[in-house]
Amino acid sequence: MLYPDFLVPGGTIGFVAPSFGCATEPYITGFKRAQERLKNMGLNINNGPNVYEAKGIGISNTPQLCGKELSDMYAADSNDVLISCGGGELMCEILEYVDWNKIKSAEPKWFMGYSDNTNFTFLLNTIADTASIYGPCAAAFGADKLHASLKDALDVLMGKKLSVSGYDMWEKESLKNEDNPTPEYNLTEKKILRCFYGDKEYETPVDEMDSDTGIHVSGRLVGGCMDCLVNLTGTEYDCVSDFNDKYKDDGIIWFLESCDLNVFAIRRAMWQMEKAGWFKYVKAFIIGRPLVFGQDMMGLDQYSAVLAVAGKYKVPVIMDVDLGHLPPAMPVISGAYADVSVEKGNITLNYVLR
């Protein structure tokens, strides 16, 4: 696994829009305030040509121009790391226009984003054998006050922190809108992990787990947004079999979260990834809060949707983690080896860059 150089003081952040650009409110204001904050931190900004565009369908521009921007900015010397402007809907359509040979031959570079950006964070791992950061997009850094998770993301990007833990509270309903573009997270819900071994919940309550009774597992992290991952199964971009074989001695820790999927779609996605052989060497599953948190359809909920598949493997399944579309979210170094622990009601990821 290749690990890019971390961002240094005085370095340059490149912003790209392989999915949505920051073309409408509240994202325009959030993005501009993010740039101001980062400049005040002593960092430089290098914007790609699509960051304010909205000419595409489900992405910032045409698939051709989005693929070109991403390829060119990744290989360019004008920036040191890349952060995506936002998520979106159809980033998958740019993949045939990404110059993968250019990506693989370029000096490795950190790319950070989540949701639709799984189409690059995940493929950097599995196609280019390069680590990436599954973390916040550009406008998040324009918040009136940075939540600890956003500070963690910057600290990971700058190599100041190689260990992250979950947070106390989470946001069910955002206060963000056109008139209030950069609010702090609306933290109304207490984070409560649910942990299973196979399909059985651990006997020790999560908040009572300690160094002896807690969960401790190590392996190589890979994953992202299930909406995107399941879309890649069986395509020419599905290189998971080779990735699994390369890292089978480490074992794979799959981190997964979902956006538009209801609980039945989550179960179908888990089934499809399993039948594609993706979970062959799984050591654990880390499951973020789904956007449909609390949904129950015909007796199926977010837990049984995952456990119907994950429960077969007799490995830890850690659920309702700070990951995904209901913030805050821990920044995950996708592709890294990690020591994962659950103690005293919280999860910690210790990244080992090997």
- Dihedral over Cα of 318, 217, 229, 119: its sign: positive
pLDDT at 54: 98
- Scan for tokens 């890292």, then name that residue: 247
Query: Rounded mean pLDDT of 239-243?
Result: 99
**The pTM is what?**
0.98
Taking CA atoms, 320 is separated from 167, 170, 264, 317, in Å, by 12, 10, 17, 10
Phi and psi, residue 172, nearest 5°? -90, -40
pLDDT band at 81; cut points 50, 70, 90? very high
The CA R_g of the chain, rounded to the nearest whole Å, is 19
Domains and CATH numbers, the chain: 12-165 (3.40.50.10740), 169-352 (3.50.30.60)
pLDDT at 15: 99
> For 117, how many CA atoms within 13 A lie in the half-sphere containing its CB?
30
Query: Rounded mean pLDDT of 273-282?
Result: 99
Query: Rounded mean pLDDT of 247-253?
Result: 99
Q: What is the pLDDT of residues 180-233, one digit of tens each?
A: 999 999 999 999 999 999 999 999 999 999 999 999 999 999 999 999 999 999
* DSSP helix/strand/coil, 47: strand
